[in-house]
Structure 1
Amino acid sequence: MRTELASEPGDADRPNEDFASVGLPASGQGGSVVVLDGVTPPKTGTGCLHSVPWFTAHLGGALTELTVSLPDVPLVDALSRAIARTSEAHAATCDLSHPRTPQATVVVTRWNPDTVEYLVLSDSALLLESPDGVVTPVLDDRLALLPRSALATDALVDSTLRNREGGFFTAAADPSVARRAVTGTLPRSEVRALAALTDGATRWVERFEEGGWTDCFQLVRKEGPQALVDRVRTLERSDAAATFLGRSKRHDDATVVFAEI
């Protein structure tokens, strides 16, 4: 197995809210990848004493440990347990019912000699490459399919769409949200490599339209995760008129993990 990882904050003066890990079981049979994209909090607050990086570190650490130590537990249950463990760590001090309690998107995949499992929640992406080079994106597109008018303000999103039926879901304080994720299992023989990306990196495809998912995967495979992040940064700097980014932040945290399994 070969893995490469790059993660870069959107602003050097702010902590990176992404989390990424590669888990390798002591048996040496298989592995796992966990990538979280922490949701940047609003200026109005989150009802929580803790930062988003605190949350992603706790949730990501728990999820990494569970995917490795409990290989027979489905990824949905592993995520549910990780959310519950993280919630318990600050339930006594924070208002976990607040709609902007710290939260994150999730990509997790785990493989063994027989199967490759995956789970995607919200707008990060997982790319799976077959032995013949076909790249299949695994996406949770509920947020992308919402009309732009429904996303006009944070208050509107929080009151009508965030972690609500008919809207979109992120990993926050409710363990049951794990069952809203996009999940699946493939034979190990059908996957030779994979890449997990936060939406700061998927901008190369989804915002700047520099190529499709196959082009993106081949760039990561040939030049490495950092090359994709660097190209996104160049495109962001050149979009002075916000032609492609619109109301989105100029630079976003960007994380890419590549694994040849």
Structure 2
Amino acid sequence: MEAPGRRYAAGGGPVGRAPMMRVRCASDPAPGRPENEDIVFRFGPLVGVLDGATVPAGFDTGCTHGPAWYVRHLAARIALAVADRPAATLASSLAEAIRAVRADHGGACDLDHPGTPSSTVCLLRDGGDHADYLVLCDSPLVLDTERGIEVVADDRLEATQDDLRRAAAAPAGGVPPAAGEGGRDGGGDPEGGFRCAVTAQRSRMNRAHGYWAAAADPDAAYQALTGAVPLRGPGALRRAVLLSDGASCAVEQFGLFDWAGLLDVVTEAGPAGLVDRVRAAERDHPDRLRRRKRTDDASVVLCEFSG
């Protein structure tokens, strides 16, 4: 497992049967942040990106551990679950991993607290004749097949935030605005509005009509977007890119290029090349960000398949 920290890049050899999967990856903490709350990993035929949810200053989590601890433990537990039961679905393996991390917390943490550590999950597994995938929360997967480009994106967190914004803007509102915006519940104070927004968003995690993430509830795994794509024949997968939102913002927020352009940048300049483009955009165009943080941890995994 690749450890979080300063940027790194890694290459991989063949995995499983032909077509072979070559893996390159990079992960970079936000400038000025001492700890990377993302992690990228590879365990045999399985690759993944996890993005831990940053805890805003002054907020309680009911837990003695932080997001970086959570993503490291979850990545290791996912690998063990997949190794234990290679034929199990990725959703089932993720559920088992979440259950195991509950035990890793020990008895001192309140795992029912709405701020308990959580993470997005993006997984891709080489199965020889096909690759299966899982996407949970806002770490998208970009697939380049012989039939075109497909983006697997879980937009329920964004939909929840938009719902909170609309409710706050309504004349009979009473639900606080999304993060970074003031509102009636914040008394016109941006910080007060932000605190109300975080509290409201936390109340929607792992709830119907809300959004889903890996936290303390194993059932969240079964709410993930899953599927498979062939590695041989018509529609065969050629490239795949797994991203944390600190890297996908190159398309979704900064509009530096479309998804096809992102695939080409990552292939030609490597995963670290995409991170460099994001860092430059964060410096030059902070007004385009739709998040409170001006910069974020950024992680990219590129998988290339050749027969």
Q: What is the TM-score of this pair, normalised by structure 1?
A: 0.92
CA distance in 2, matches of 1:45, 1:57: 21
Report the counterpart of residue 219 of structure 1 in structure 2: 265
CA distance in 2, matches of 1:228, 1:209: 13
1:196 equivalenced with 2:246 (yes/no): no
Deviates further, 36-45 or 242-251: 242-251
RMSD (Å), alpha carbons: 1.5
Report the counterpart of residue 230 of structure 2 in structure 1: 187
- Alpha-carbon distance, 1:67 to partner: 2.6
- Alpha-carbon distance, 1:215 to partner: 1.0
Structure exhibiting the larger radius of gyration computed from Cα positions: 2
- Is the contact between residue 121 and residue 180 of structure 1 (CA under 8 Å) also seen in structure 2? yes
CA deviations over 1:188-225 (Å, ceiling 9, x no partner):
22212211000000010000011111111111011100
- For structure 1, the 5+ residue unaligned runs are 25-30
Letter of the 1:252 counterpart: D
Letter of the 1:72 counterpart: A
- Is the contact between residue 253 and residue 290 of structure 2 (CA under 8 Å) also seen in structure 1? no
Please point out which of 148, 151, 164 is paired with 2:178.
151
- For structure 2, the 5+ residue unaligned runs are 1-20, 166-176, 180-196
SS of corresponding position for 2:142: strand
1:237 equivalenced with 2:251 (yes/no): no
CA distance in 1, matches of 2:100, 2:255: 39
Identical counterparts, % of pairs: 39
Report the counterpart of residue 297 of structure 2 in structure 1: 253
Report the counterpart of residue 27 of structure 1 in structure 2: none
Give the number of equivalent residue pairs.
Answer: 251
CA deviations over 1:126-163 (Å, ceiling 9, x no partner):
1111146x22111111122332515351011122x222
- Is the contact between residue 34 and residue 64 of structure 1 (CA under 8 Å) also seen in structure 2? no
CA distance in 1, matches of 2:217, 2:132: 22
Q: Hey, which bits of structure 1, 4+ residues long, moved more than 3 A?
A: none
- Is the contact between residue 32 and residue 68 of structure 1 (CA under 8 Å) also seen in structure 2? no
Letter of the 1:151 counterpart: A
Q: What is the TM-score of this pair, normalised by structure 2?
A: 0.78
- Is the contact between residue 46 and residue 98 of structure 1 (CA under 8 Å) also seen in structure 2? yes
CA distance in 2, matches of 1:108, 1:154: 27
Letter of the 1:35 counterpart: V
Report the counterpart of residue 87 of structure 1 in structure 2: 102
- Alpha-carbon distance, 1:249 to partner: 0.5
